[in-house]
Amino acid sequence: RLANKLLSPYLNLLTAYPDQPYGHAPVTALDFSIIPSDLKDEPNDKLNNVLGLVGKKVAAGERVIIYTAWVRLDTQSLLIDRLAQMGIKACILKQNVKAIKREDWVRKKLSDGMQVLITNPFLVQTGLDLNEFTTLIFYNLAFNLYVLRQASCRSWRINQTAPKIEVYLFYWKDTMQQRALRLMASKLAAATMIEGQL
């Protein structure tokens, strides 16, 4: 009974904690508690690697999408602050922009000089062509195969003229993020095999 109550919140904590090793509430059930340590001053290699990649792509004249599925973390605000320090113009597409207005919102931001779009992949999984962005980075995943597939194709549309689109998935090695990503990869392999894409 205790294990059943702890399992879901504990797995969520294990997945989110590497990206933000601070600010998490204890996971409790019955008389048992798991209290995560606060490690706010630890270096964030994942963040730094993402920023390094974005810097190279923007310097080469490309535009980048960064997908952040864990919106309860401070990833979006961290990214926007650090990109601003690098002199890169980034914007966050939030849920309060209605679905029917999102494509116009993106067009306006692009005309204002946006180089990096930060958003939850759920917000752009259908109905948007984002051909201006040729590098797509999944900073963290919600582990929904349908959303992953749809969001990773936002820039690979029938009218895309760029020679290639690159998709990157970042994770912390030897954590629940890596295990979950392996599971997603096996599901994706099975799905594409069923579709006849070997």
CA–CA gap between residue 141 and residue 16 (Å, rounded): 10
Residues 27/28/33/37 CA torsion (nearest 10 deg) = 20
Which of these ranges, 104-108, 143-147, 176-180, 193-197, has the smallest mean pLDDT? 193-197
CA–CA gap between residue 81 and residue 44 (Å, rounded): 14
pLDDT tens digits, one per residue of 117-170: 999 989 987 777 788 999 999 998 877 777 777 777 766 666 666 668 898 999
